[in-house]
Amino acid sequence: MAGVLLCEPTELYNILNQHRRFPRLSEPNYLILLDARTLREYNESHIITARRIEQGPTGEYLVPDSEELACVRYCVVYDCSTSSLDFSDSEEEEKEKDAEERTAAQHARSLQQFTRHPVLVLKGGYRRFSASYHFLRTQKLLWMPQELDNFQPYPVEILPGRLYMGNFRQACNQQIQKDLKIKAQVNISEQPAMLSAEEGKYLHVSVPDSLEADLFSSFPTICHFIDAQLDLGAVLVFSSLGISRSSTIIMAYLMHSFQFSLKKAWDYVLKCKTNVRPQRGFVKQLSDWEAQIYGTTITDVSEPNY
């Protein structure tokens, strides 16, 4: 069996906002998001693209299409507020719990036999997710393919509620800035952005995405800027596509301020955004940055994965 795992709200947020040429939500085998709450609660509002788990005549939850489950990359189930997968409580303790507290975990266990990847249970359920990401709530029941193609993804979340990584288009979207409460921006593209950042909270480092480009000399300035601004609010780091230059800066920052090795920073950012790819010149500069911070090279960047 594939198993069942808890999923932090920030992980689901990033799953929903993955983007290649089109939003990944438009891919049929990408995500199945299942709402295990009551029909009334679901109709009032639910997470975008979520389907309500259907029930049979006797009240049992029905398994979605098993062939669809077998092909999907992510299967996520949520209820009102489940925060644990632990089923070891005594019978007396179970009776004291909310009748819906374990709905998502129980349903996830019934689905794991059909999936190739672990079924994810949203930690804290809809209540916790919607408190942080109210802008991803909806009453919409049916999404047409064209609507999913046109869905505007948000920047991915690196540090929950504090640090985001995105592209130029997202940085210029005022609604996104408002929803994420962005207080400062770091622009790593060559093009200046028409942003509403307050004076002193916008840093533009104009760097081309080329093998000869130098980001290394700007690492200290950018890292210190991010550190200072995170004390005041959320920060967005962006480049033209949000794939190479911005991810390089985020990795450099994690190495500088969180004592990550390059490998750990790389893996962490790749989990947040699955198509990041610093070009080879920036990989070399990140390796030099690691050596400068730790006094030695820890990560072998000659591996095919870098």
So what's the pLDDT on residue 194?
62
So what's the pLDDT on residue 83?
86
Q: What CA–CA distances, in Å, run from 202 to 21, 22, 27, 225?
A: 28, 29, 35, 9
So what's the pLDDT on residue 96?
43
Q: Which H or E run contains 165?
A: strand 163-167
Per-residue pLDDT tens for 114-143? 999 999 999 999 999 999 999 999 999 999
Choose among 140, 86, 139: nearest CA to 109: 86
Full DSSP string of 223-290? HHHHHHHHTTSEEEEEESSSSSHHHHHHHHHHHHHH---HHHHHHHHHHHSTT----HHHHHHHHHHH
Instruction: Go through the domains of the chain in sequence order and give each one's CATH number.
Output: 4-149 (3.40.250.10), 156-294 (3.90.190.10)
Q: In this model, does residue 287 exceed pLDDT 50?
A: yes
Q: Which H or E run contains 47?
A: strand 46-47
Q: In this model, does residue 101 exceed pLDDT 80?
A: no
Q: In this model, does residue 99 exceed pLDDT 70?
A: no
Mean pLDDT of 28-50: 95
Per-residue pLDDT tens for 173-216? 999 999 999 999 999 999 887 655 555 599 999 999 898 999 99
* Cα–Cα dist 114/78, whole Å: 18
So what's the pLDDT on residue 253?
98
* Cα–Cα dist 226/185, whole Å: 9
The CA-based angle 177-268-33, given to 5 degrees, is: 65
Choose among 190, 220, 216: nearest CA to 205: 190
Query: Residue 110, Cβ neighbours under 10 Å: how many?
Result: 15
Which of the residue ranges 1-5, 168-172, 177-181 would you say has the lowest mean pLDDT? 1-5
The pLDDT > 90 percentage for the chain reads 75
Q: 51 with 92: CB under 8 angstroms?
A: no
The pLDDT > 70 percentage for the chain reads 91
So what's the pLDDT on residue 92?
43
Q: Which H or E run contains 109?
A: helix 103-111
Q: In this model, does residue 29 exceed pLDDT 90?
A: yes
Per-residue pLDDT tens for 216-246? 999 999 999 999 999 999 999 999 999 999 9
So what's the pLDDT on residue 94?
46
So what's the pLDDT on residue 90?
41
